[in-house]
Chain A
């Protein structure tokens, strides 16, 4: 069965710090990987996606993620976070038509 692990449940950073959120997945087939973000009071929004090709994908708001097949990982990065990045971040893998999500990481950025 597919599964997704997000190692950091809560992360607290100061503005301008660099961010890396870990995501590991377990899935035997061709993977499509996603990061979704949920800002306070808002619905889930797609941050970025990987289907194939260049393993380094860029998303909205300066986020990027790197797919490392040998490590079954799809870590999310941002070189310099802003207070407005405070949100919950979910990694997901598309397996057999449905999305399987990790438990999420709550990011708090202090000004």
Chain B
């Protein structure tokens, strides 16, 4: 089963450090999404890619956040100068161009101390 994979699954970092997460989508999916989920909330949209093009970014995505999908395959999400408020589960999802349902990865849980 080649579902969406994310690495690392857990990350603990100190405030002010930079972190980078990776997402590998389902291979034939050309759309890739990043969401953030905090305790007691549903996932909130951050950004999405169609192939290598980043087509939309949420206002939640401050200047400290950057995402890339350089070859239209895997994607990275980088957070610079982490803050305690960045502590959350970061979810990646992908879908094909013809079907609207998104398939989610296991997430990366970030804890900023």
Contacts and interface: CB of A to CB of B under 8 A. Distances in A.
Contacts of B28: none
Given A46-B101, A46-B103, A51-B100, A98 B42 contact: no
B101 A43 contact: no
B100 A90 contact: no
A54 to B, nearest CB: 17
B41 interface: yes
B43 A99 contact: yes
Interface residues of B, number: 22
A90 B104 CA distance: 13
A43 B107 contact: yes
Question: Main SS of the interface on chain A?
Answer: strand
B56 A44 contact: no
Interface stretch (A63-71, A74-82, A101-109): A101-109
Interface residues of A, number: 23
Nearest to B41: A103
Interface in B26-51: 31, 33, 35, 40-45, 48
B18 interface: no
B72 interface: no
9 contacts: A32-B100, A43-B91, A46-B102, A90-B43, A92-B42, A97-B31, A97-B55, A99-B35, A104-B41
Interface of A: 4, 32, 34, 36, 42-46, 49, 51, 90, 92, 94, 96-104
